[in-house]
Structure 1
């Protein structure tokens, strides 16, 4: 046989191999995860033709035929298409899914090698599903290997409550079959910790102050209320905002002259008690709460009444008065002591009369002397209705005024001279005696006047009964009053469900009440304080369990929360409750956002059942349950190799590692398997959930190569025929 036939025969066989390989690629053009083969050739052998010219500088090598060199696989990625399969995944990058034949097997990737209990395969076909036992398998029944966090046992999912531990396990290289039963049950988890992030808007959700300032027996805590800061209250649904609306202006009129008394929040008062003292001292006004006929308080409001013996002409104004709803005027703000002096009347001890605006009490036994002239039998009780002398004011002859502790009478023509400089006559000492406060159990004589709960009472007969209860022994004097709108407190209520060991739900309820919004006197850092009352209830919130806990949350000048966690007794244990915020969001007091729960984090859960699952780009498998739990259960196994060409096809879209022997040593042709992730994240690519990778065959190139390979085959066949014809011709020459 001549060389032509030998060479062309090897060419025919080799191109047949190429055609077979290309035909196989085209046949698998729609095979998921298929890796294209790339046939490669090499010359069969060569020799040197020394007979031509051994000493020539020209190469005289001669090749004999061609043979198959390799049938390499293409490692480029295929196309990715959307899929509806529950567990369909695709891998984008360098690496392979890991599958095995045995559900009891494992595949451990180490830094110095690997361990495998059975045959392990690698594939890019990500069309996985669950079998009857819930194991994740491919269409051939091979089990998906991955990291199992060990949270599933006997169809029960148990949370670890330790994300750091989960992340550590997800970074390991111990791969085993993954199982997700369809009837997976989430085991209830006892709540031991609740972190709550809330926004508290002081301009919303007001509650009447009686609900906030109440004692355990349900009665109103007057002392605590009166010592509260005004700036923590609202009226008519709007916050008082006393730092801005801070003015109370009281105008007293005396004989046509005005006396203005200005009281300001932050300067003259902050609490209701401080306001009460300022009103009494500066304007002779009493401050009390609005009450029902029996003296109890149904809704908290303020009542301003005349606390002196004198009748006043008064008006109240100012932005704070308008906010409170007490702005207005009363021309005869009476005490009820309106008996004017009469020279023809005989008076006895204890009688109280009004003479030219001055209130007197008769101290003698009996008589009718003029109180302005008889200081022996008359006691001056109150001269405040006369008003104080004022500069640049013209006074009429006979007019009385107070000045530096004495009462003066204008005796010369009208003018505005100082009483100490002439034109005035000193009449008697000034005085402002207030009716005594009623004291329970004290025996009072007839005609005694007392002040009780913002109202004046006169004793009719001797005794020690309560003025409000004893309608016969006491006479209520006819007093006028200014009554404010009902006072409210900005509030909010939060509810968080917590769970016991059996998964039963309970309600952790907190009520928030604004204490004040400018407590700079006690803590310069604080600009808003809220009282919080927290208590555990049954699921419906109708039955209280245990005692309520009272704590606070405040906000500094940068609106950062200031509070401390508290513990709430729960069953045999307790719940650590923190309202400063969750890990992602702090509590706030933003006015542009409604009062609401921003975020809740807790370690407890009720029972639940598997609802859905999801796989993220790092291959971590998350399970969603009907109780709202969303937790990782493991991750898809990914392995990479230094030399993907060293993997061997075994059919069914599977590859396996193979060994080669060199110099007496055995090596893995693909290189040892490499773990596809470092910690939580993948190193060489990413997983695409609900996608599948198609074949990586380039159809256009495959058809072109098929034509080229066909032409090569035909040309080699022609060469073989030519060689055959030459041999026949040589044989014919011999004949």
Structure 2
């Protein structure tokens, strides 16, 4: 009968243990990232009563509390308005560095910046990350500091090198991260620029005036005594004349020794020759020979089309410069395609136009439409040749010198239509693209779904600065609970590991939700039900003691 006392006592003790576990879960129903527990109770050894039958009878010796089992089910995700409230959308753990130098693991992702701009949790533990090592100290002048709203040159400033993603590395390579307030994105000069457009090859015919070759007209002419002149010539040596025709006009300017001039006209005959006979020049000083100061052929022929494009590039000083491109079609146009001569300039703003100054055109370009003067950084020439279908056949434009930085101009792949084309039947939108960036000032930090801590800047650029480590374990339930939300690894959990992708690169293995917290996974309805059950079991165990006491008393009374 004594065993019934001890069995009931063990029931009271173990139900009290279960009560503590359930009560702790209920107390943490609103604790971020909390994982509920289940009390595990096991039966103690039992004695075996012998029997003449084949069966045996076990006499239990009570129960014993063994341990608590963690419920690793994910809690609901709740949106917040804080950037560094983070939640893991699948299994895994954030790592934090405690004040004692030990690493702990948690699902509670409520992080913020402390007074030293370190990313910490609510207990002051440092969030563990892999650094991108792309932030260095720098010195900024007052003009640059004004972009941050300060002129205090004693403040420590930092500069960043652009980085799209931080490799997670190996377990153990992680450390805390400091997110500086004065983070500067230096200007980056353009090294690559591309342009796509259609150079319209439509044949255009117009009336043009072409200077005659010197061999096609006399240099001087002697007037007769009647003050008339006779002279003749041809256009056979004038290569600029593509298709001279009978009836085209020759315009001559005769100049005398006194500087007076007279214009006379002649007409091409069927042999493309011209003659001017007994033309009255009495208005000129004919005492000496007259000079043919100008001889022009006026004819109709194909004229060169010209296309002009501009785009922005970033100069070596960080300012926006202009990449100016002029394409002039070579005439006459060939039957198998077209060729366009190109002149490409890089212009950097110098000053507003000053009419009192004389600008060297070899060094400066004056834009009369805007009254602005630009320094000519570099000029290069070349040619684009196109196939009969309009695709690019060749490009001889060399690289440009962007103030000490080599700039490659991409106008498309050969035998393709991805860049410049020359077609009358294809519509193509002008598309410009370039790399490089203006200087930028930090506007804020954020976290992407891959765990990269991203710094954003006023120039529209952004860069990863570190990656938040997400740790995994072979047996999550084997972790040792240090506090309501902190755990440490144990022999039962195994060492922390990182997952790897198909290429063998370490990866977080789960997405990270920003401005989101994982709520406690305690099911309050279940916990309250368990509370009632434990309470009833506790009461029943206590009844077992009183009942055993009464039975023992009755047995004693029977002997009296």
Q: How far did residue 493 of structure 1 move? A: 1.1
Taking the aligned partners of 1:80 and 1:529, their CA distance within structure 2 comes to: 61
In the alignment, is the contact (CA less than 8 A) between 1:532 and 1:553 conserved in 2?
A: no
In 1, are the aligned partners of 2:304 and 2:329 still within 8 Å (CA)?
no
2:497 corresponding residue in structure 1: 674
Q: CA 1:703 to 1:484, structure 2 compared with 1: closer, same or farther past 3 Å? A: farther
Q: 2 CA distance for matches of 1:725 and 1:520?
A: 121
Distance 1:292 1:179 in 2: 81
Equivalent in the alignment of 1:568: 400
For residue 335 of structure 1, what is the aligned residue in structure 2? none
Which residue of 1 is the match for residue 178 of structure 2? 179
Shift of 1:306: 9.1
Aligned partner of residue 447 in structure 1, secondary structure: strand
**In the alignment, what sits opposite 2:57?**
60
Q: Does 1:279 align with 2:244?
A: yes
CA contact (8 A) 2:39 2:68 kept: yes
The CA deviation at 1:626 is 1.8
What residue in structure 2 maps to residue 145 of structure 1?
128
1:612 aligned to 2:444? yes
1:337: which partner in 2? none
2:267 matched residue in structure 1:
308
Contact 1:276 1:287 in 2 (8 A): no
Q: Is the 8 A contact 1:149 1:170 kept in 2?
A: no
C-alpha deviation, 1:201, in angstroms? 3.8
Secondary structure (helix, strand or coil) at the match of 1:674 reads coil
Q: Secondary structure at the match of 2:11?
A: helix
Contact 2:382 2:397 in 1 (8 A): no
Taking structure 1 as reference, are residues 61 and 559 closer, same or farther at Cα in structure 2, changes over 3 Å only? farther
User: Whole-Å Cα distance in 2 between the matches of residues 711 and 562 of structure 1?
Assistant: 90
The answer to whether the 8 Å contact 1:620/1:636 transfers is: yes
Give the direction of change, closer, same or farther, for the CA distance of 1:596–1:433 in structure 2 (3 Å limit). closer
- TM-score norm. by structure 1 comes to 0.57
C-alpha distance in 2 between matches for 1:293 and 1:594: 51
Shift of 1:530: 6.2
Question: Could you tell me whether the CA contact under 8 Å between 1:199 and 1:595 is conserved in 2?
Answer: yes
Task: Provide closer, same or farther for how the CA distance between residues 623 and 74 of structure 1 changes in structure 2, counting only shifts above 3 A.
Answer: same
Change over 3 Å in CA distance of 1:569–1:285 after alignment to 2 = same
The reply on whether 1:91 has 2:88 as its aligned counterpart is: yes
Q: Secondary structure at the match of 2:477?
A: helix
Match of 1:14 in 2: 14
Tell me the distance in 1 between the aligned counterparts of 2:56 and 2:411. Answer: 87
Where do 1:20-99 residues align within 5 Å?
20-50=20-50, 52-53=51-52, 56-99=53-96
CA deviation after TM superposition for structure 1 residue 609, in Å: 2.1
Aligned residues: 473
Residues 652, 24 of structure 1: alpha-carbon distance in 2 compared, 3 angstrom cutoff:
closer
Say if 1:287 and 1:29 are closer, same or farther in 2 by CA, change over 3 A. farther
Note closer, same or farther for the CA distance 1:57–1:613 as it changes in structure 2 (3 Å cut).
same
What residue number does 2:410 align with? 579
CA distance, structure 1, for counterparts of residue 519 and residue 285 of structure 2: 104
Q: Corresponding residue for 1:595?
A: 430
Q: Which residue number corresponds to residue 321 of structure 2?
A: 507
Q: How far off is 1:732 after superposition? A: 2.4
TM-score, normalised with respect to structure 2: 0.73
Q: Are residues 1:3 and 2:3 paired?
A: yes
- Structure 2: give runs of 5+ residues left out of the alignment: 138-155, 208-237, 256-263, 352-371
Q: Using the alignment, how far apart are the partners of 1:100 and 1:197 within structure 2?
A: 48
Residue aligned with 2:112, SS:
strand
Per-residue deviation, 1:274: 7.8
The correspondence for 2:273, drawn from 418, 434, 440, is 434
Counterpart residue number, 2:143: none
Alignment of 1:524-563 (within 5 A): 529=340, 531-538=342-349, 542-553=373-384, 557=389, 559=391, 562-563=394-395
**Aligned equivalent of 2:457:** 625
> Distance between the aligned counterparts of 1:286 and 1:87, measured in 2?
82
Tell whether the 8 Å contact from 2:184 to 2:442 is kept in structure 1 after alignment: yes
Aligned positions of 1:287-298 closer than 5 A: none
Partners of 1:507 and 1:733 lie apart in 2 by: 113
CA contact (8 A) 1:184 1:610 kept: yes
Supply the distance in 1 between the matched residues of 2:108 and 2:254 (Cα, whole angstroms).
Answer: 85
| TM-fit CA distance, 1:644 | 0.8
SS of match in other structure, 1:9: helix
Q: 1:527, 1:555 within 8 Å by CA — same for their partners in 2? A: yes
2:119 aligned with 1:136: yes
Contact 2:195 2:419 in 1 (8 A): yes
Higher gyration radius (CA): 1
**Residue 654 of structure 1, CA deviation:** 0.7
Q: Among 81, 98, 102, which residue is 1:101 paired with?
A: 98
> Could you tell me how far 1:433 is from its partner in structure 2?
6.2
8 A Cα contact 1:446 1:460, kept in partner: no
**Aligned-partner SS, 2:75:** coil
Match of 2:550 among 704, 710, 725: 725
Match of 1:314 in 2: none
Does the 8 A contact of 2:90 with 2:511 survive in 1?
yes
- 8 A contact 2:347–2:377 mirrored in 1: yes
How far the C-alpha of 1:123 sits from its partner, in A, is 0.3
Deviation at 1:636, TM superposition (A): 0.3
Q: 1:3 to 1:628 in 2, by over 3 A?
A: same
What's the CA shift string for 1:690-711, capped at 9, x where partnerless?
2111111122322222222222
1:109-155 CA deviation, whole Å, 9 max, x = no partner?
A: xxxxxxxx931100001111111111100011000011001122345
3-state SS of 1:40 partner? strand
RMSD of aligned alpha carbons: 4.2
Q: Deviations over 1:258-316 (max 9, x none)?
A: xxxxxxxxxxxxxxx88944332xx443599xx9999xxxxxxxxxx99636xxxxxxx
- Asked if structure 1 preserves the Cα contact closer than 8 Å seen for 2:499 and 2:507, the reply is yes
Q: Is the 8 A contact 2:477 2:493 kept in 1?
A: yes
Query: CA offset at residue 600 of structure 1?
Result: 1.8
Q: CA separation in 1, counterparts of 2:475 and 2:324? A: 62
Say if 1:32 and 1:692, in contact at 8 Å, map to a contact too.
yes
